[in-house]
Amino acid sequence: MATKIWHVLELLEWTTGYFEKHNIPNPRLDAEVLLGHLLKKSRLQLYLHFDMPVFQEDLTVFRELIKKRIARTPISYLTNHKEFMSLDFYVDERVLIPRPETEFIVETILKAKEGPSQRLLEIGTGSGVIATALAVNKAEWEIIATDISNDALAVVEKNRVAHDCAGRITLLHGDLFEPIKALESPRFNWIVSNPPYVMTSERDTLSPEIRDYEPHIALFAGEDGLSVIRRLVAEAPNYLHPEGKLIFEIGDKQAESVKALLEEQPAYQNYRFIKDYAGKDRVVLATVE
């Protein structure tokens, strides 16, 4: 008997139905992204080629991708791509998948009126999206990016090379400010971070995509979710120039607790919160004296 020839449209429809049956969120979108990734076509190109046949060897790979998505592997780990600040980044299970709200950090820094040459430190760079997006936009800035995870630093390495920024982002490994202490000049105009801030007790409320696949070192920060932020707020003034700025992301229910942490530190002359698209305080910008 002749083997059935599948075409793009019927494959998309079949996969959408299969994802629906398995309660995968956004079933049609996921089907399109996965098939587009496999066939190296944008979603628009898929629409223009609905009647294109999909050959057996591609079907075999597609079947594996579908199985992994049913097991709730995040789409970005299956395609190894995530867009951030309109740039394409490599991601895999060694790093957190960058979130759109983190773009507020980069946009705020880019909008600030500063001198031409700034020195910036990113703590917990993960895939390197913040450091790389800044390096792409601010060629004259000196940028140092750190992470406690050597696995994450291997991913940043790929991204800084892909975006032609290898010479402009220095990577250091270690816990918070530890790797900075050895530098000849450990003071910065900017310290930026999207630290882990999820409470360990929230683990079971997370989607399987996050809970079972994203690195826990990138997500969890103790009982109250503040174990990294607390140290960041307390130690950052020691590494900032006068009028230097600390900017970092927080969880959507953490504004009051973070305000209290900032108030405890006399080194901050002012601070403000920046809201995300949902109107929640999600980024803190604090300036030292």
Ligand X SMILES: C[S@@+](CC[C@H](N)C(=O)[O-])C[C@H]1O[C@@H](n2cnc3c(N)ncnc32)[C@H](O)[C@@H]1O
Q: By CB under 6 A, tell whether 126 contacts ligand X.
A: yes
Contacts of 57 (CB under 8 A, 6+ apart): none
Interface pick for ligand X out of 164, 175, 223, 243 (rule CB under 6 A): 175
Q: By CB under 6 A, tell whether 236 contacts ligand X.
A: no
State in angstroms the smallest separation of the CB of 266 from ligand X: 24
Q: Are 179 and 173 in contact (CB under 8 A)?
A: yes
Q: By CB under 6 A, tell whether 218 contacts ligand X.
A: yes
Write each residue from 82 to 121 as x if it is in contact with ligand X (CB under 6 A), else as -, in one continuous string: -------------xx-x---x-------------------
Q: Residue 66: enclosing H or E segment and its boundaries?
A: helix 56-70
- The window from 26-34, 70-78, 123-131, 268-276 that contacts ligand X (CB under 6 A) reads 123-131
- CA 159 to CA 152: how far, in whole Å? 11
State in angstroms the smallest separation of the CB of 77 from ligand X: 14
Closer residue to ligand X in complex, CB, 148/283: 148
Q: By CB under 6 A, tell whether 254 contacts ligand X.
A: no
State in angstroms the smallest separation of the CB of 39 from ligand X: 28
Contacts of 274 (CB under 8 A, 6+ apart): 104, 108, 281, 282, 283, 284, 285
Lookup: tokens for 135: 């390096």
Q: By CB under 6 A, tell whether 123 contacts ligand X.
A: yes
50 Rama sector, left if φ>0, alpha if ψ -120 to 50, beta otherwise: alpha
